[in-house]
């Protein structure tokens, strides 16, 4: 499978501009890249969240492909129902076209409130791609912590206070949880790595059965970074191995990007206002703890991918 | 020879659950997504066998919760599929959020509800607290007295839900265990007749119509939300015309007539008991016995609770002395149950409105016996004579 940017750039992407997502939002960039990867028509679902509220304000819609928004925690179940309808109506000869099904949810709608719905849909084996755009908090409603929020981040429900320095505890490893469903395809990517994301989307749309892609997406408001720092911040996430690019194909792990020089996690954290308090002297031990967690996860992933671990 | 026999209907002995599962088989929906819960479980099990034996074309999704069951049928119905699920009690409660979304998206989902007490305390037996709690969710609600009515209502519900003037989901309620698990005699139509009666669903919009992409469930703010709710209310109002029209066609096939409600010996009655579901059967027996003793009692068995046929209720109840209104659900309003409130409100403005009394009964499957029904009639026949009701809201058959 190859990806050609010249051809991609000529493609009509059924997701228009003019929506109300913030400048620099990682979600809209990811959605455009992923829709560009599809060669067949896509029926999309979206969980309640930034992507939904900013792209479907009645009577307007940014979606030039069929879209359903149901509720916050059930985009996986909703798209699984649409996919079931497709199988039923296709078997009856009422629909002839090849159609793909994609569900989009933020980390709140996926890691937290939508986890059961996601797990059920993955287990049942629907031919669908679930995309989590993970920006690490409930951004739509004002930056409340989720189980995807990195340790130490200052959010409106885990504020960096006098006693508690931001979000306690590490993130949930959702990609591993979904991989444990033994579905044909699971991957991590970011829109800063467009070739990686487009290729992975193509693979996810091609496999028979469920696929899951966890996409790290910036939120300039929540991360407190400038609008034009989206791509550089996402690159630092992979260069520090906070967010490794990898895929799990029929249970086989492979790492898609190995930084030439693994950067310290501080380089990813420093430009982000949500971590500013961690750079105070009294919180230095937290930075060490976060680095240890990144290293542990990276080494674990390398073992899974049968990489040599130093 | 009854019309049922003339039309070649099959006489069957089925429980309420079996009757509804059989109706679902004959409907042959495109998609069913369901999760088992007592006392609805048998519907899911029996339907699973139909699927396993290839007796239906349905794509059947055994989802991981009722929330996902309702979410999946919303997705399926939005994709143009005729879609069904079934549930009870806590399962219905878990669907709650999506019930409203199904209705507001105008999706014609049909859902048998096997009525069971809503926790807590946990109890698996019949009362109407589950579906009564969902009465304002935008679903049409049909209640059934026995397996025959559960079967007939399920078939008619497809036509009502999908009617272009309605496009709303329908709950077909039957009493848990009392109907769902009791063997009953009923007539059933053959598959061809049912399929001709229900036709195929022609959706106004579909997710699978990729040439004409539509956005379902958009964010609807101050600018349009109210208009859409107003249209939804109009759909419910239109159901007041569609429900009798569908019933009329059904009666032509079967001879079984269905109104918004059934009046039993109510014409000249002094006291009319308003009641839903299986209790109506017991009450009819009691009325017959009382009539033999010269006491003028009658029954109004409400079949359609949503939409509430207010004008028809006024016509039926005006001039009566007392309406004794039975609630198999407590609404904790400290002023009576939901059916009581609705009926009382509907008849408030009618000339010669009857006095009303309310009986909350049978919660958590507490048996309702002929002597309880007779007690209600006796109290209200006395009230009819004195022209006065001492205690408007009473609890029937409970230790106090």
Q: Which residues on neighbouring strands pair with residue A247, listed in sequence order?
A: A187, A254
Residue range B373-384: average pLDDT? Answer: 98
pLDDT of residue B11 exceeding 80, the answer is yes
pLDDT per position as a tens digit, A59-74: 999 999 999 999 999 9
Question: Is residue A171 included in any domain, yes or no?
Answer: yes
What's the confidence (pLDDT) of residue B4? Answer: 57
Cis peptide before A181 (omega within 30 of 0): no
Interface A–B counts its CB contacts (< 8 A) at 169
- Structure ipTM over 0.95, yes or no: yes
Give the C-alpha separation, A41 to A78, whole Å: 18
The verdict on B154 and B282 lying in the same domain is no
Smallest Cβ–Cβ distance between A74 and the set B71, B80, B219 belongs to B71
Query: Residue A73: its chain B contacts at CB < 8 A?
Result: 67
Give the C-alpha separation, B171 to A308, whole Å: 60
Range of the domain at A281: 14-304
Structural domains counted in chain A? 1
Pairing of strands B31-34, B59-62: parallel
Cross-chain residue pair B220–A58, CB shorter than 8 Å: yes
SS3 of residue A184 by DSSP: coil
Report helix angle B89-104 to B66-78, nearest 10: 30
Residue range B300-324: average pLDDT? Answer: 97
Q: Is B223 exposed, middle or buried (0-12, 13-18, 19+ CB in 10 A)?
A: exposed
What's the confidence (pLDDT) of residue B1? Answer: 47
In terms of CA atoms, which chain B residue is nearest residue A14? B213
What's the confidence (pLDDT) of residue B2? Answer: 58
Cross-chain residue pair B207–A78, CB shorter than 8 Å: no
A117: CATH: 3.40.50.970
Cis peptide before B39 (omega within 30 of 0): yes
Minimal C-alpha gap between B57 and chain A (Å): 7
SS3 of residue B171 by DSSP: strand
Cross-chain residue pair B67–A43, CB shorter than 8 Å: no
B302: CATH: 3.40.50.920
What's the confidence (pLDDT) of residue B337? Answer: 98
pLDDT per position as a tens digit, B187-229: 999 999 999 999 999 999 999 999 999 999 999 999 999 999 9
Question: Is residue A150 included in any domain, yes or no?
Answer: yes
B254, B280, B304 - which closes a domain? B254
Residue range B39-47: average pLDDT? Answer: 98
Residue range B275-280: average pLDDT? Answer: 98
- At B9, is the pLDDT very low, low, confident or very high (cuts 50, 70, 90)? confident
Question: Is residue A5 included in any domain, yes or no?
Answer: no
Mean pLDDT (chain B) is: 97
What's the confidence (pLDDT) of residue A64? Answer: 98
The verdict on B204 and B161 lying in the same domain is yes
pLDDT of residue B243 exceeding 80, the answer is yes
Question: Is residue A110 included in any domain, yes or no?
Answer: yes
Best probe of the A interface among B103, B108, B218, by most A CBs < 10 A, is B218
Range of the domain at B363: 261-396
Query: Residue B169: its chain A contacts at CB < 8 A?
Result: none
Give the C-alpha separation, A138 to A122, whole Å: 23
The verdict on B299 and B362 lying in the same domain is yes
**Count of beta carbons in the 10 Å neighbourhood of residue A232:** 14
Query: Residue A84: its chain B contacts at CB < 8 A?
Result: 31, 33, 59, 61, 72, 75-76, 81
What average pLDDT values come out for chain A (310 residues) when binned by 10 residues? 87 96 97 97 98 98 98 98 98 97 98 98 98 98 98 98 97 98 98 98 98 98 98 98 98 97 98 98 97 98 86
Cross-chain residue pair B76–A73, CB shorter than 8 Å: no
In terms of CA atoms, which chain B residue is nearest residue A62? B215
Residue range B237-259: average pLDDT? Answer: 98
């Amino acid at each position: 499978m190859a990806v050609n940017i010249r051809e991609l750039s000529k493609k009509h992407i059924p997701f228009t501009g003019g929506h109300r997502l913030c400048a620099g939002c990682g979600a809209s960039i990811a959605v455009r890249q992923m829709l560009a990867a599809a060669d067949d028509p896509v029926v999309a679902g979206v969980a309640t969240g930034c992507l939904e509220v900013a792209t479907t304000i009645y009577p307007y819609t940014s979606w030039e492909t069929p879209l359903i928004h149901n509720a916050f925690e059930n985009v996986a179940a909703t798209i699984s129902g649409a996919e079931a309808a497709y199988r039923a109506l296709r078997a009856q000869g009422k629909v002839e076209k090849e159609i793909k099904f994609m569900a989009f949810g933020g980390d709140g709608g996926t890691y937290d409130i939508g986890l059961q719905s996601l797990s059920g849909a993955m287990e049942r084996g629907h031919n669908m791609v679930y995309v989590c755009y993970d920006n690490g908090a409930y951004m739509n409603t004002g930056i409340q912590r989720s189980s995807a929020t990195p340790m130490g981040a200052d959010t409106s429900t885990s504020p960096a206070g006098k006693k508690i320095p931001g979000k306690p505890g590490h993130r949930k490893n959702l990609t591993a949880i979904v991989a444990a469903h033994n579905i044909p395809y699971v991957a991590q990517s970011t829109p800063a790595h467009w070739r990686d994301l487009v290729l992975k989307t193509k693979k996810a749309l091609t496999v028979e059965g469920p696929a899951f892609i966890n996409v790290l997406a910036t939120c300039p408001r929540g991360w407190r970074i400038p609008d034009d720092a989206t791509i550089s911040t996402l690159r630092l996430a992979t260069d520090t191995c906070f967010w490794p690019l990898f895929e799990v194909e029929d249970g086989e792990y492979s790492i898609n990007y190995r930084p030439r020089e693994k950067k310290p996690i501080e380089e990813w954290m420093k430009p982000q206002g949500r971590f500013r308090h961690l750079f105070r002297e009294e919180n230095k031990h937290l930075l060490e703890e976060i680095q240890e967690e990144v290293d542990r996860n990276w080494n674990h992933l390398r073992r899974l991918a049968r990489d040599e671990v130093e | 020879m009854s019309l049922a026999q003339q039309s070649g209907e099959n006489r069957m002995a089925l429980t309420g659950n079996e009757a509804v599962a059989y109706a679902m088989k004959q409907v042959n929906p495109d998609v069913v997504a369901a999760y088992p819960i007592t006392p609805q479980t048998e519907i899911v099990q029996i339907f699973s066998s139909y699927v396993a034996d290839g007796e239906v074309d349905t794509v059947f999704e055994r989802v991981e919760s009722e929330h996902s069951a309702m979410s999946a049928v919303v997705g399926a119905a939005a994709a143009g599929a005729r879609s069904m699920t079934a549930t009870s009690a806590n399962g219905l409660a878990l669907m709650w959020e999506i019930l409203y979304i199904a209705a507001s998206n105008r999706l014609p989902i049909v859902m048998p509800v096997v009525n069971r007490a809503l926790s807590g305390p946990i109890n698996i037996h019949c009362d109407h607290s589950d579906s009564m709690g969902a009465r304002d969710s935008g679903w049409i609600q049909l209640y059934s007295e026995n397996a025959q009515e559960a079967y007939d209502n399920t078939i008619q519900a497809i036509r009502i839900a999908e009617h272009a003037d309605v496009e709303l989901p329908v709950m077909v309620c039957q009493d848990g265990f009392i109907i769902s698990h009791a063997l009953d005699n009923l007539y059933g139509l053959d598959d061809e007749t049912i399929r001709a009666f229900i036709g195929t669903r022609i959706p106004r919009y579909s997710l699978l119509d990729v040439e004409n992409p539509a956005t379902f469930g958009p964010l609807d703010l101050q600018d349009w939300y109210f208009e859409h709710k107003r249209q939804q209310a109009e759909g419910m109002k239109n159901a007041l015309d569609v429900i009798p029209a569908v019933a009329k066609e059904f009666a032509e096939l079967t001879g079984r007539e269905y109104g918004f409600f059934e009046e039993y010996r109510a014409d000249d009655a002094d006291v009319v008991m308003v009641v839903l579901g299986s209790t109506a059967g017991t009450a009819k027996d009691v009325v017959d016995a009382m009539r033999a003793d010269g006491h003028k009692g009658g029954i109004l068995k409400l079949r359609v609770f949503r939409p509430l046929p207010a004008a028809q209720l006024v016509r039926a109840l005006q001039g009566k002395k007392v309406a004794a209104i039975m609630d198999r659900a407590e609404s904790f309003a400290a002023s009576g149950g939901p059916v009581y409130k609705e009926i009382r409100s509907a008849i408030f403005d009618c000339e010669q409105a009857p006095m009303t009394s309310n009986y909350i009964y049978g919660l958590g499957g507490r048996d309702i016996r002929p002597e309880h029904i007779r007690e209600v009639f006796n109290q209200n026949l006395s009230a009819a004579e004195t022209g006065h009701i001492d205690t408007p809201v009473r609890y029937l058959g409970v230790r106090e």
